[in-house]
Chains A and B, each alone.
Chain A
Amino acid sequence: MPDVNMSVELAGVTLKNPVVVASGTFGFGREYSRFYDLGELGGICAKGLTLHPRTGNPAPRIAETPMGILNSVGLENPGVDAFIREELPFLRQFDTKVIANISGNTPEEYGIMCEKLSAAGVDMIEVNISCPNVKAGGLAYGTRPELAAEVTEEAKKHASGVPVMVKLSPNVTDITEIARAVEGAGADALSLINTIRGMRIDVNTRRPVLKMNTGGLSGPAVLPVAVRMVWEVSQAVSLPILGMGGVSRGEDGAQLMLAGASAVAVGTALFADPFAPLRVRDGLAGIAAKQGLAAVSELTGGVRPW
């Protein structure tokens, strides 16, 4: 390993390396702990939580598309209390940052969850205002600046100083408008992008492959969209950014960092390769070393636009 300082700062939290796993792709860590020490990761965004347990949407919930996948899981989760009781102690065993991800039906629900999670002790709270797969809350909050701001304020008020990172939806006309609203409401960081709404149809049965008809697109197909949006948002606000969307190699992560991200999340790539986050980390280290950087964080915002 070349001698590059791999640690980065995200909203005052020091990650040992810039690679986090994306919410919804890593469960609560148990499954992938069979493959490697979770302490190798910069952080873990845990599966999205709601105030009450949810069973999610009917299957099929996944479809493969050209260089992407569509999912429509619909926030299946055991609820915030069960997470705190049964999953958080497990995650806490590892030398990595634990980021809880929450979705609410009302701003008050976001507040209640922030209160519970900050009391239980998580390193950061990722506020999901962008899930395309649930009817209430979710995406509705992420597409209207005033609602996004209201949810952010409520979360901040109840997070007792635990940094609040707001996860933005790409399913908007102007993502910088939402980013500014969320910054104005006191967010500590932004994560982007969530999945892009999509659809796949089986031409023989004429049925959509997903039982919900539509779902969220992720994977390499969305990387250029993510890079563009991180670049736009990083110019519009001064908040640190966790960049994500189709990262499967170090070069993908480096693109997001050059566009302005302080750290990157790996998600869909895990399904083909459980070791993908570690390969992204090593790839980033290699790129930083090759470019003669002392620290990987020097990549952040380093793009030289024409």
Chain B
Amino acid sequence: MKVERKCKVIAREWLTRDAMSMTLDVGDMVRTSDVRPGQFVHIKCGEGLLLRRPVSVCEWTGSETGDTLTIVFEVKGEGTGWLSRRPVGHTVDVLGLLGNGFDAEGGPYLLVGGGIGVPPMLGCAGASGGTSTAILGFRSKDKAILLDRFAEDCADCLVATDDGSLGYHGFVDALVRQELEKKHHYQAVLACGPKPMLKSVAKVAAGFDVPCQVSMEERMGCGVGACLVCAAPMRDGTVKHVCKDGPVFNAKEVDWDA
């Protein structure tokens, strides 16, 4: 299977002041992979930077005329800044698809996304055929992304902001608790976001005895499992690696106190 390819930018759009949605022509990547939401691509961002930037897959299509992959990323520094300046028609060097994604077939699932952890949950919404509920958290209203898309692809979509400028004033775990108290049909909670959010969501899910899958983030090197920098300590004392063993893990396996 081909892992490295040059992919053409076919569409790009600013979702907020610093979050960009970019669609790439990825050849036959989707058709030749067992694509799952939560997987990522590792993108070379210019010649000067020594490390690629991992970006989660948001949506994808597969067809004879060329597969497409949509990624959503936040401009945080030099690398993502470079990527955000690639015009339509330019190519970028992509490794992918990498990592293990969410198990999001069937459903309904309770999808929980925080900040730039929101986009991969859209793929989960699609995979679960519109039956899932999304709970999306942002710092403030102006950081909110993809709300209309989740409204289309989910049975329900709840929003929380840290400052109360949109939806519930507070963190997503309070909404997760409310939802799990009200409804008992969720097969699992699937979550992607900052580690403190994942930890509290995992705790709520465990309290209701609902399975929980979390997509973890860690600084990466190679992206394929060779350099061992993206360590994720597990409860059994072993260390797994976010790029190869994850980024999605069973929340029960993760050592949340490490």
Hey, which bits of chain A sit against chain B, CB under 8 A? 24-27, 30-32, 34-35, 47, 55-64, 67-69, 71, 73, 76, 209, 219-220, 268-275
Contacts and interface: CB of A to CB of B under 8 A. Distances in A.
Given A27-B225, A34-B1, A274-B95, A58 B51 contact: no
B239 A27 contact: no
Interface stretch (B65-73, B157-165, B228-236): B228-236
B90 interface: no
A55 B52 CA distance: 25
Given A31-B226, A270-B226, A271-B50, 5 more contacts: A32-B224, A61-B229, A73-B227, A73-B229, A268-B50
Contacts of B52: 271-272
Given A64-B50, A272-B49, A274-B95, A59 B227 contact: no
B44 interface: yes
A59 B228 contact: no
Contacts of A34: 1, 3, 224
A41 to B, nearest CB: 14
Q: Is the interface of B mostly helix, strand, loop or mixed?
A: loop
B207 to A, nearest CB: 27
B4 interface: yes
B239 A56 contact: yes
A64 B224 contact: no
Contact of A62 (B48, B221, B232, B233): B221
Contacts of A57: 231
Contact of A56 (B3, B4, B222, B228): B228
Contact of A25 (B49, B95, B227, B232): B227
A270 B227 CA distance: 10
28 contacts: A24-B227, A27-B228, A31-B226, A32-B224, A57-B231, A58-B231, A58-B233, A58-B258, A59-B218, A59-B219, A59-B230, A61-B229, A62-B227, A62-B229, A63-B219, A69-B51, A69-B221, A73-B227, A220-B50, A271-B50, A271-B51, A271-B52, A271-B221, A272-B51, A272-B52, A274-B3, A274-B4, A275-B4
B228 A272 contact: no
